[in-house]
Chain A
Amino acid sequence: MAANNYRHALFCAIVTLIISFPILGFNLEAKGVNIELTGAKTSTIVAVILAAVAVFVFQAYRDSFMGLLGKLPKLNPLADKEPMEQSKRVKLESWVLTGIVVLALFWPFVVSRGSVDLATLVLIYIMLALGLNVVVGLAGLLDLGYVAFYAVGAYTFALLSQYTGISFWMALPIGALLAGLTGMILGFPVLRLRGDYLAIVTLGFGEIIRILLNNWTTLTGGPNGIGGIPEPTLFGMEFGRRIKEEGNTSFHETFGIAYSGEHKVIFLYLIALVLAVITALIIRRFMRMPVGRAWEALREDEIAARSLGLSRTAVKLSAFTIGAFFAGFAGTVFASKQGFISPESFVFLESAIILAIVVLGGMGSQLGVILAAIAVTILPELAREFSEYRMLIFGAAMVLMMVWRPQGLLPMRRIHITLNKQG
């Protein structure tokens, strides 16, 4: 047993050496026109060896380390508590959510412009994650091409504004509806597939949309993207220094205040906040409606659900369409925020990140998904000082998270629905 352990540990240490030495142990140096291969500094080599030793020690005493890790949840003050009663929990949850929203309303007026901008991005991710939560968390359909609907929303607004000069407020419902429609059309042929197969097909669809945007140069501008997407207006008031469209007034002149670039950023943030809250409320409503129970029933047991007369296609399609709809919502806001979009914003990694948010937050749980969206977007920004290592830290954080709390930050607790007894 012990000998086996050490042999395994030795093997792991050697693998570490084999992987890291060629990468870190040599330097490429430009000498004139030529590139020369030189040995790295002694300190790097020592570090590589230390890393190998660390791997050896960890693997050799792995069981005790993992045992320690297993004790970690006890640090969580809520771990030993009995789950709260439903009515209390629902109340607490809505209080927490209201608190977050109120804080979020005042927050942009006290922090820097950069933070507000980042927060807008967080809100866009919250919308995306809440939408995907319906598809993955509630209906149990693994969708790896979710970013496609995000792209449809963004490109709808960009193209319409370019060709017809449509405003943000008109584009918002159109973008969301078109994304929903795309979801329905794409969903129709693929939803009879299950599990892994569905995942691969959706992955393919996500790529098809991106490649289409990339190559349909005459319409979408291809990799050059589309620029000059207008910002939202407030009842015909523009936030720029100069008015771009005739008939509009400008915000700072109307209210007689000095022009500031911050107004625009804060306004966008507030729009994103309102839309995120609307998204959360609508989806919450859906979850409590019969269709929400149908999603869960189908996820739990497809045959049983069908035996009760539920139409598999209709139920899955509704989840897929609603998820796509909110992705379109988020896409329109994203296009407006950036003012410029290109297919590069809609790569597979985006789908993966949104999926990671849903899983980290606890599938099906809205509050959990919101917290995870905040964490996943902000963490890489906080780790910016570590420059090229930040994604490494991000990855490590995710691994730790999954070991520590595989059920997600705040796993979904179902809301039990009872008919009122009287009447």
Chain B
Amino acid sequence: MSMLVLENVHTHYGKIEALHGVSVEVNKGEIVSLIGANGAGKTTLLMTVCGMPQASSGRIFLEDRDITNEPTAQIMRSGLAIVPEGRRIFSGLTVEENLHMGGFFNNKTEIRKSQAHVYELFPRLKEREHQRAGTMSGGEQQMLAIGRALMSRPNMIILDEPSLGLAPLIIKQIFEIIGQLRDEGITVFLVEQNAHQALHLADRGYVLETGKIRLHDTGQNLLANPDVQNAYLGG
């Protein structure tokens, strides 16, 4: 039943330990949110799942397969997709080409199918199909980044701060889409600073503090938790 399991994962950057034994479990079909302050190690945790850097100890399982020591390229080709922090679209390529890069290892029929699906989710991208991606607005770029990740038809999608630097209206739209993805059966692991919305949407949530999991509960309970309210929801 579990999609992604981290067991007591430690990660080092050189000699500095960034994650001090983190255990997280994401079940199939769930939305799980990870919240935490700047520098808590949220992005490090995601990058460790992707194998760059690799965990220095502990184990990571993706659909019961041990991926701890697998190279990034192999992990990213096994049903996992990530929307990296800061979008990181290919700004010189067109929207369509960006999407095709996302389906790099799929055949043409599959690409065409997933492309149609992405355009259904984000009609805006269809309008901009032949525009250079770098000339689009931040919100559109975020949609493209999500769309690109969906092109490989993943079972699980990891989103790193999808709301970063976006207007509230766009954020709402993005979160709606994330909910829709879950309804389609895609497991979602969401990392956010925007704790309120992230927990609201999530089935379960984890709170990461200086490289350790502090709290772990359902989204609703965490929202109601006074500590969480004080630290992350602005009291």
Enumerate chain A interface residues (CB-CB to B < 8 A).
Answer: 290, 293-294, 296-297, 300-301, 303-312, 314, 414, 416-419
Q: Which residue of B lies closest to A86 (CB)?
A: B130
A residues less than 8 Å from B94 (CB atoms): 416
Are B90 and A417 in touch, CB under 8 angstroms?
Answer: no
Are A308 and B92 in touch, CB under 8 angstroms?
Answer: no
Using A293-B93, A301-B88, A309-B73 as known contacts, list a sample of 9 further A-B pairs with CB atoms less than 8 Å apart, ordered by residue number in A. A297-B93, A297-B101, A307-B72, A307-B76, A307-B84, A308-B152, A309-B77, A309-B152, A312-B73
B26-59: which residues lie under 8 A (CB-CB) from chain A?
A: 50, 52
A residues less than 8 Å from B108 (CB atoms): 419
How many residues of B are in contact with the other chain, CB < 8 A? 33
Are B72 and A306 in touch, CB under 8 angstroms?
Answer: yes
Assess A293 versus B101: contact at CB under 8 Å? Given A300-B92, A307-B82.
Answer: yes
Assess A417 versus B97: contact at CB under 8 Å? Given A303-B84, A309-B152.
Answer: yes
B94-122 interface code vs A (CB 8 A; 1 in, 0 out): 10110011101100100110010000000
How distant is the Cα of A414 from the Cα of B132 in the complex, in angstroms?
10
B53-90 interface code vs A (CB 8 A; 1 in, 0 out): 00000000000000000011110110001101000111
Select the residue from A296, A301, A309, A418 with max chain B CB neighbours within 10 A.
A309
State whether the Cβ of B180 lies closer than 8 Å to any Cβ in chain A: no
State whether the Cβ of B148 lies closer than 8 Å to any Cβ in chain A: yes
The 4 closest A-B pairs by CB, nearest first: A309-B76, A311-B73, A304-B88, A309-B77
- Closest Cβ of chain B to A310, distance in Å, is 6
Are B91 and A300 in touch, CB under 8 angstroms?
Answer: yes
Are A308 and B88 in touch, CB under 8 angstroms?
Answer: no
- Closest Cβ of chain A to B149, distance in Å, is 8
Q: Which residue of A lies closest to B130 (CB)?
A: A416
A residues less than 8 Å from B115 (CB atoms): 419
Q: Which residue of B lies closest to A306 (CB)?
A: B72
Are A419 and B50 in touch, CB under 8 angstroms?
Answer: no
- Closest Cβ of chain A to B221, distance in Å, is 32
B residues less than 8 Å from A301 (CB atoms): 88-90
Are B90 and A297 in touch, CB under 8 angstroms?
Answer: yes
Assess A307 versus B50: contact at CB under 8 Å? Given A297-B93, A414-B93.
Answer: yes
Are A311 and B71 in touch, CB under 8 angstroms?
Answer: yes
- Closest Cβ of chain A to B119, distance in Å, is 13
Are B90 and A414 in touch, CB under 8 angstroms?
Answer: no
B residues less than 8 Å from A290 (CB atoms): 104
How distant is the Cα of A309 from the Cα of B82 in the complex, in angstroms?
10
Are B91 and A419 in touch, CB under 8 angstroms?
Answer: no
- Closest Cβ of chain A to B79, distance in Å, is 10
Are B88 and A414 in touch, CB under 8 angstroms?
Answer: no
A sample of 23 inter-chain contacts (CB < 8 A) reads A293-B93, A293-B97, A293-B104, A296-B90, A297-B90, A301-B88, A301-B90, A304-B84, A304-B90, A306-B76, A307-B81, A308-B76, A308-B101, A309-B72, A309-B77, A310-B104, A312-B73, A314-B73, A414-B92, A417-B100, A418-B96, A419-B100, A419-B111
Q: Which residue of A lies closest to B50 (CB)?
A: A307
